[in-house]
Structure 1
Amino acid sequence: MTRIDTFTNGSLRFPARDSGPLDGVPVLLLHGWPQDGESWAEVAARLNEAGYRTLAPDLRGVTPTASPAGRSAYRGSALRTDVAAMVDQIGQPVHLVGHDWGAALAWNVACHQPELVRSLNAVSVPHPGAFIRSMATSTQGLASWYMYVFQLPWLPELVLGSQRFMTASLMGTGQSREAAARDARRNGVRGLRRGGLNWYRGAVLEPRDLGSPTSVPVLQVWSDGDKAVMRGSIERSAAYATGPYRLSVFEGVSHWIPDEVPDRLAAELVSHFEEVDQ
């Protein structure tokens, strides 16, 4: 057994951070936007201490070696093939953990390919069907105003190219100045900025399977300081879990849970992993 520093899916190459004991139960960590796999560093360190092997790749669109130009390459079904290829390279089912867009992708995988997943651990973002239904029936639609703006061509790339604007915007959602500046710098590369925005654009290109549930055990984590995802959409996620389901609410925490409270998140994850693996 050897370390994995790059995952591959066809011609796409995804740099990865593989840490912890090689014989530990594998945990695949999927980041959100506008971050990369490094955003999991503190959580991964704590999971490694608990005996788990963690793998945190840079996902499609945020690395030059896996950033197709067209938005059609960012449909949910295409993104799902990346995770399937990663699990195949790991060689066994994983505890799948996702934050933000990574959580939406994790739900997608767990619903369509549950054989790849020991447990689903979705942080900040609910099942896509729950989210879409909430957009049509609650204040979630207003909170998600930026998602409509991101559908525009070239303008979002131009505006978000200002690191000062991007940093201020991320701080407005609860990120620390240091973390916001870090993510704004990475987002400063135009090709990667376009790749991140294409997750929003690709999501509307194919019909969602709104009724697709998952049978794997689910931990849904949400924070009441989240300005992007409302509680109503989170609570709807339970309807998409036919197996064990638990909702954990972090009070006084922003959307950026892995950055803000890595100790608490890691503890919740370990507790869930142990329940599943016992």
Structure 2
Amino acid sequence: MTTRRVEVAPDIELDVIDEGSGETGVAVLLHGFPESSHSWRHQVQPLVSAGWRVLVPDQRGYASSSAPSDISAYRGDVLADDVIALLDDIDADDAVIIGHDWGAIVSWHVGQRHPSRCRALIAASVPYTPWPVHPIENLQAVHGDEFFYILYFQAPGVADAELDADPQRFLLSIAHMASGDGMQSLVGGPLPAEGTRLTDYFEHMIGGRIESCPPWMTSDDLAVYTAQFTTGGFTGPINWYRNLDANYDIFDPIGATPLTMPTFFVAGDLDPVILSRPEYLDRMSSELPNHQATELIEGIGHWVQQEAPEAFNQIVLGWLDSL
């Protein structure tokens, strides 16, 4: 696939897959954590075949894209503006924004911040989620003294050092734990926040270390992800989580009002995000002004477009045909 480097802000460049003629329109695919543009490997060609010009960035902090050291460089408004810079680079008036995990959050922020540039919005795995209070305060109240990965991510340098020391082991642990198969066979319970590391927690949940790939990931896929995180490290990606409270301050006052473009949501029915807050599925229909559809794929976990690419593509292409 054709990859080029695009300057999206002063001294900030992103590696971007750029494929397709675009007679149907432009689609931007935004990955989540811990992923990269490679997580959309099953979607690019089907979209191109349907006439879309497809842009798939390694977002800031990931792989070989720029990774500024300032934590605030990863705020949601900044990440949303990166997407708009990609559209400006190809002189596109608007695009369908398709995001998974953190990419879904950025998609919601693009719609809130730049509604006129968002032809439609398709979020995967993370629904539109208005927090009742600042997210970190909320998570501390919910989890107390128990380990939770987002709280573990807040101290600069701690999680970064752990994951940088053995990227492949971490990637395998989270790939298995959050998948549909993993969610159906969890064996571990809560662990204390004090003294627990993230990879240890995930391996505890799945009954120990697993050194083979899940069925939906090949050894070549694992090698790509491992090389990307070995090169780029985890500090940039984790800095996204360190801006949750800042993002709340920016976007909570905006709310759902600007999201008048058609919105769609797709996830696996065993996605831990969905299982932890199923009420947000119904809330999207009531809070989003133009929500068109929500689809759950049976037996699938968090990595929905990788675990069930054929079902995912059929759903998404059907929605795009309706625009």
Q: Same fold (TM over 0.5)?
A: yes
Structure 1 segments (4+ residues) deviating >4 Å: 130-138, 140-144, 179-182
Q: How does 1:55-70 map to 2 (within 5 A)?
A: 55-70=55-70
Q: Which residue of 1 aligns with 2:162?
A: 159
1:173 corresponds in structure 2 to 178
Alpha-carbon displacement from aligned partner over 1:72-113 (angstroms, at most 9, x marks no partner): 111111111101111212322111100010000000111221
Separation of aligned partners in 1, 2:78 and 2:31: 17
Instruction: Report the residue type matching 1:121 in the other structure.
Output: I
Greater shift in the superposed pair: 239-248 or 191-200: 239-248
Q: Is residue 129–residue 208 contact of structure 1 (8 Å, CA) maintained in 2?
A: no
TM-aligned CA distance change 1:64 to 1:44, over 3 Å: closer
Report how far residue 202 of structure 1 moved: 2.0
Q: What is the TM-score normalised by the length of structure 2?
A: 0.76
Aligned length: 272
What secondary structure, in the 3-state scheme, does the structure 2 residue paired with 1:160 have?
A: helix
* Identity value in percent: 26
**Against the structure 1 CA distance between its residues 132 and 173, is the aligned structure 2 distance closer, same or farther, given a 3 Å change threshold?**
farther
The amino acid that maps onto 1:265 is: F
Equivalent-residue separation in structure 2 for 1:112 and 1:250 (angstroms): 30
In structure 1, runs of 5+ residues without a counterpart are none
Aligned to 1:27: 27
Question: Which ranges of structure 2 fall in alignment gaps of 5 or more residues?
Answer: 180-212
Residue type matched to 2:125 in 1?
Answer: S
Partner of 2:5: 6
Task: Name the Cα RMSD after superposition.
Answer: 2.8
Bigger Cα Rg: 2
Secondary structure in 1 matching 2:42: helix
What is the Cα deviation at residue 144 of structure 1? 9.2
CA contact (8 A) 2:27 2:54 kept: yes
Q: Which residue in 1 is equivalent to 2:51? A: 51
Matched, 1:220 2:261: no
Find the counterpart in structure 1 of residue 94 from structure 2. Answer: 93
**Take 1:132 and 1:262, find their aligned partners in 2: how far apart are those partners?**
35
Task: Choose which of 186, 189, 198 in structure 1 pairs with 2:239.
Answer: 198
Q: CA 1:113–1:184 in 2, change beyond 3 Å: closer, same or farther?
A: same
Q: TM-score, normalised by structure 1?
A: 0.87
SS at match of 2:322: helix
User: Contact between 2:126 and 2:273, CA under 8 Å: does it hold in 1?
Assistant: no
1:233 aligned onto 2:287: no
Q: How many Å separate the matches in 1 of 2:54 and 2:65?
A: 21
**In 2, distance between residues paired with 1:222 and 1:239?**
19
**Residue 253 (structure 1) shift:** 0.5
Q: Which moved more, 1:76-85 or 1:98-107?
A: 76-85
Residue of structure 1 equivalent to 2:230: 188
Measured in 2, the distance between the counterparts of 1:35 and 1:129 equals 24
Where does residue 118 of structure 2 map in the other structure?
117
